[in-house]
Amino acid sequence: MLLPASFRGIAFDCLYTREVLARDTVVYEYPWRDGAEVEDHGLKALNLRLSALFWGNGYQARLKAFLAALKAPGPGELVHPVYGSLPRVQLLEAGVEHEVEPLNAVTVELVFVEASTEQALFAPVSSVPRTGSLLDSVTAGLSDALATIQRGNEGIARISNLVASAEYVVQALADEVQTSLGRVMNYLDMPTAFVSDLKGLLSAFSDRLNFSEVTRLSDWLAVRSQSERLAGFAERRMTANASHNPDGVFASTLNRASIMPQADRELINQIVRLVTIAEWVDVAVDIFQAEAATPTLSGSDIERLCEEVRGLIVTAIVTQRTVMDTRQRTAHQTRDVTPDARHDSQLITALQQLAYQLQSQARTLIVRRPPRILRQIGGVAHDDWLDIEVDADLLTPAAGWAFTVGLSQARLSPEVRVGTRAELRTGDALIMTGQVDELRHEVARGQHTLSVYGRDAAAVLVDCSAPLFSARDMSLQEVVTQIVRPLGVTRIQLQATSPLAAKKVSIDPGDTAWGALCKAAEASGLWPWVSADGTLVVGGPDYSTAPVDTLILRRDGQGNNLLRLAVSENISSRYSEVTVLAQGHGSAQADGRHDRRSQVKDKTVPLYRPLVAVVGDTDSDEEVHFRARKLMADARLNGLLITAVVRGLHTAAGQLWAPGQRVRIKSEPHGLDDIFYLMHRRFSGGRGQPLQTLLTLREDGVWLPDSLSNNKRLSKMADLITHIDQRIRRALGGLRLAYCAVLSRVTPTGGVQTAQVSGLAGEITPDVELFQHYGLTSVLPAGTMAVVLPVGGRTRHSIVIATEHSTYQLQGLANGEVALYTDEGASITLKRHKIIAVECDDYQVTCKRFQVNAEERAGFEIPMLSASQALTAEGHIRGHGG
């Protein structure tokens, strides 16, 4: 039998249907733990599959019209052969199948997906609190109380007074909510109508509120506020004064206060309280059911709402038990009988059941809801993101966040703009405060998304330059006051464990504000970061705090809470010893020094791995030692890297993961059981993706050595001189200055001679170019003293510009005399009176022509003069030997 159906008004016969229900889930599988934890992210869109049949004469025309309807964009109405009209259904695919048999027929395989959230057809059934039994118990208890009072000596007067008070409360509430009663009941003849009228007026006020996604919490606050005012209506008419005549008649008017016994006052207040509870429970149930369909409240909001209702219920239970005890005690004292307390017990039981059912419903709502990150942009809250990522790192400036949302109707939210203030929250906990940096609006086939990127309050410091136009020496306090605050960062907190040193650093034009802040903070052993509320904190780690959580990875699976744990050790950045070589120029207070040195050792490194660092100008030995400890701390910090992935965003105690926390890790496979320092944290997740946290941890107690102290106590004039000296030194502080060295080896080959020099505190620098004057070349012997100049202030580009060797230096030269000499004693000396003296063992001259012009004479005081060729003389040659 064929089933009739239609899509966009085009009818067709249906051979079969198939509906597919699926849910988005995330599976958490822990190592060495059987099974998995599954997190429900909600029901997917209902998938419908139908097989349509077109047959008979003229089926081609009907098929053509049907295919045209399928090609139309957007959702349309599907009249399902089983479930009837489904107003918003999107076609995913349609397959047209022609076969040999039967003739004049064609089938179309259709796949639809419902474009709206499934409602009644597959909605889950849950047990919700019902207040009917509570109201029945209230009315029954009120009837019994009035009957008991009526049997007393002053029964008529007390009942009249109670009825008058009830009428006053109802009329005052009607005026408050601006609602008129549809009928006027005589509470004396029908006292139980008091309960129904109160409930009706409270419900009339609640029904005017829409409890939408935007106003759900504020509407609940309005209901609570109205009920709190109702509790005070009865007190307007009552007084706490006791009657002077116990046998007198109580006044009963609506226009003035009257004297009532305490028991009657408590009866009216308890009735008002119980009716209020019934209304609060009904409103809370409606809110929780709306939250199950469209979540808008945080888990903390739901918990607080439930606790407010339960608090009122607890008060009512305590009051009712007190009334029951008083009644039983009075009955025993007067008549020695036990009064009937069945209505009291029923009332207390009804209240207890309501409290338990409401708490169970709230708990189910909180547990089933995955943790959400709420972003607030321009004062408007959003949690409709498809995926999100939130980063925070102590060593990376300007922690960032990014999320992607799907857009409909091709419209952007007007409050989402570049530069807008943004807050990221999960429940009541604040994750980050910053601004929107970038918007990426992307439209493609089958895709329409908006990606939003932002950073915390440090973004402006990273992006912008320090507002300086000339180089200045500034302390940390001056950087904060003159650079950070003018850029709009006004919430600043300095967290120094000891008084800050007045250490000044050089800030140049063009330096970023963040770079200037880091330079000044690091000089004091501190570091800047931005807290969740947007406060700029300049401080250091606190290694005395207790670990916020213990992360466990065991082979038997007991207590495992780590999804992934990776431990990386790297020796390439570790050193067994760090030596810092430095120099200091003279000042008015101290002579210059070129041999400052500090060495720090790490006994945990098993190999000999030295690091020698040469720094520029320094003020003291303490500063050199500080730099050595800082280099060693950085090396140790980079030597161990632990990355862990945990479920959710919070520790076991409910605290958000944040950099700067200390965490204990117990891992049997890695052999770890120690405390580590959390340097980086990343939240990530999305629909169908796990909301989890990536933790990056380093060795505890290593990051940031102690700050550099300042012990100088100078007079005002000395301070001025010191400031001038510091300005000069800071200008040269980033450069390696010329220094004295000793040549240990010279390589004469090549275009330019090179030498190996031994400099500050045994510093060895190879391949230093040895520059000499044009026309003069010498190969210097080992031990020659030299002046080495680092070109551009860099040691690796050093050159030798001057040399001297005191051992072989010629002595006894007169002023103005010049000499060339060697270490063997050969020399050519240009003496005074134009005398040139040559001293050597073998004097060799090689040339084509040799001519000596002597105006007076030329003398040779030699044993023998010989010539290998002819010797010609134009004049006489005289001799005394024959």
Would you tell me how many other CB atoms lie within 10 Å of the CB of residue 547? 16
Q: pLDDT per residue over 721-760, tens digit each?
A: 445 555 565 555 556 677 888 888 888 887 788 888 887 6
pTM above 0.95, yes or no: no
- The total of other beta-carbon atoms located within 10 Å of residue 629's CB is 18
pLDDT at residue 192 greater than cutoff 80: no
> Who has greater pLDDT, 42 or 506?
506
Task: Tell me the C-alpha distance between 316 and 314, whole Å.
Answer: 5
CA distances from 636 to 527, 627, 633, 696 (A): 18, 14, 5, 15
Question: How much of the chain, in percent, has pLDDT values that exceed 90?
Answer: 19
User: Count of CB atoms within 10 A of residue 238's CB?
Assistant: 19
With 0-12 CB in 10 A as exposed, 13-18 as middle and 19+ as buried, what is 594?
Answer: middle
> Mean pLDDT across the stretch 45-58?
89
- Cβ(723)–Cβ(717) under 8 Å? no
Which amino acid, residue 282?
D
Kindly tell me if the per-residue pLDDT of 683 is higher than 70: yes
Single-letter amino acid code for the residue at 718: A
Q: What is the mean predicted confidence (pLDDT) over 251-264?
A: 54
Determine the pLDDT at residue 732: 58
Q: What pLDDT score does 735 carry?
A: 63
Maximum average pLDDT range among 178-187, 300-309, 547-556: 547-556
Q: Where are the beta strands (DSSP E) in 356-471?
A: 374-377, 380-382, 385-393, 400-406, 421-426, 429-444, 447-456
Q: How much is the pLDDT for 688?
A: 66
- Which run of H or of E encompasses 132? helix 132-150
- Other C-beta atoms closer than 10 Å to the C-beta of 640 total 17
The string of pLDDT tens digits covering residues 360-370 is 888 777 766 55
Instruction: Fold for 385-456, please state it.
Output: Phage tail proteins - horseshoe like beta roll fold (2.30.300)
- CA dihedral sign, ordered 223, 225, 229, 232: positive
pLDDT (tens digit per residue) in 772-792: 888 888 898 988 988 888 887
Q: Nearest-CA neighbor of 623 among 702, 537, 733? A: 733
CA dist 312 and 476 (Å) reads: 54
- Tell me: the pLDDT tens digits for 647-679? 888 898 888 999 999 999 999 999 999 999 999
The 8-class DSSP code of residue 39 comes to E
Does position 372 have pLDDT exceeding 60, yes or no? no
pLDDT in tens, 341-358: 677 787 888 888 888 888
* 652 three-state secondary structure: coil
| Exposed / middle / buried, residue 708 (Cβ in 10 Å: 0-12, 13-18, 19+) | buried
Q: How many residues does the chain have?
A: 882
pLDDT confidence of residue 705: 60
**Domain segments of the chain as ranges:** 3-114, 131-243+251-368, 385-456, 459-539, 549-699, 739-804
CA distances from 103 to 11, 50, 55, 57, 66 (A): 20, 21, 8, 10, 19
Would you say residue 681 has pLDDT above 90? yes
More confident of the two residues 293 and 63: 63
Structure tokens at 220: 């609940």
Residues 410-439 have a mean pLDDT of: 78
Strands 785-790 and 764-770, by their bridges, are: unpaired
Q: Give pLDDT tens digits for 489-519.
A: 989 988 765 555 567 888 888 899 999 999 8
With contact defined as beta carbons under 8 Å apart, do 561 and 651 qualify? no
Q: Is the pLDDT of residue 118 over 50?
A: no
Residue 819: pLDDT band (50, 70, 90) is very high
pLDDT in tens, 433-444: 888 898 888 887
* Average pLDDT along the chain: 79
d(C-alpha 821, C-alpha 776), whole Å: 12
Percent of the chain whose predicted confidence (pLDDT) is above 70: 77
pLDDT bin (cut points 50, 70, 90) of residue 602 is very high
State the average pLDDT over residues 628-647.
Answer: 91
Q: Cβ(83)–Cβ(21) under 8 Å?
A: no
Q: Taking residues 74-85, what's their average pLDDT? A: 88
Say which DSSP state 655 is in.
P
Which class is 549-699 in CATH?
A: alpha beta
What's the pLDDT score for residue 857? Answer: 86
| Cα torsion 629, 630, 635, 641: sign | positive
Residue 383 C-alpha from the chain's centroid: 17
Rounded to a whole number of angstroms, the distance between the first and last alpha carbons of the chain is 158
Q: Could you give the angle at which helices 342-368 and 132-150 cross, rounded to 10 degrees?
A: 160
User: Both tokens of residue 551?
Assistant: 């992360």
For domain 459-539, give the CATH superfamily: Baseplate protein-like domains (3.55.50.10)
711 vs 46 pLDDT, higher one:
46
Contacts of 207 (CB under 8 A, 6+ apart): none
Q: Does the structure show a pLDDT above 50 at 689?
A: yes
Q: What is the pLDDT of residue 805?
A: 87
Q: Using 50, 70 and 90 to split pLDDT, how confident is the model at 120?
A: very low
Residues 79, 662: Cα–Cα separation, whole Å: 60
pLDDT of residue 434: 86
At residue 709 the predicted structure's pLDDT band, cuts being 50, 70 and 90, is very low
Nearest to residue 790, comparing CAs of 768, 766, 763?
Answer: 768
Q: For residue 585, is pLDDT > 60?
A: no
The answer to whether 348 and 321 have CB atoms below 8 angstroms apart is yes
Which one-letter DSSP state was computed for residue 757? E
Q: Which tokens in the block code for residue 768? A: 């230093």
pLDDT computed for residue 663 by the predictor: 96
Q: How confident is the model at residue 409 (pLDDT cuts 50, 70, 90)?
A: very low
Residue 714's pLDDT is 33
The tally of CA atoms less than 13 A away on the side-chain side of residue 339 is: 20
Tokens of 410: 């091709």
DSSP per-residue codes, 468-486: -SS-EEE-HHHHIIIIIGG
pLDDT digits (tens, 9 = 90+) for 797-808: 789 989 988 888
Between residues 809 and 192, which one has the greater pLDDT?
809
For residue 203, what are the CA distances in angstroms to 63, 130, 173, 234? 55, 15, 12, 19
Which of the listed ranges 79-88, 164-173, 188-197 does the model predict with the highest average pLDDT?
79-88
Distance (Å, whole) CA 153 – CA 159: 11
CB-based contact 736:616 (threshold 8 Å)? yes
282 and 203 Cβ atoms separated by less than 8 Å: yes
pLDDT band at 132 (very low <50, low <70, confident <90, very high): low
Q: What confidence score (pLDDT) does residue 661 get?
A: 94
Q: Which residues pair with 442 in a beta bridge?
A: 449
Confirm if 844 and 834 have CB atoms less than 8 A apart.
Answer: no
CB-based burial of residue 346 (10 Å sphere; 0-12 exposed, 13-18 middle, 19+ buried)?
middle
Residue 130 is predicted with a pLDDT of 61
Confidence band of 109 (pLDDT split at 50, 70, 90): very high
State the average pLDDT over residues 105-121.
73
**pLDDT confidence bin for 840, thresholds 50/70/90:** very high
Q: What is the pLDDT of residue 420?
A: 84
DSSP letter (8 states) at residue 480: I
Question: With 50 as the cut, is the pLDDT of residue 217 above it?
Answer: yes
Residue that the structure tokens 């501190």 belong to: 526
Q: Identify the CATH class of 3-114.
A: mainly beta
Peptide bond into 81 cis (omega under 30): no
- Determine which of 416-425, 590-599, 726-735 has the lowest per-residue pLDDT on average: 726-735
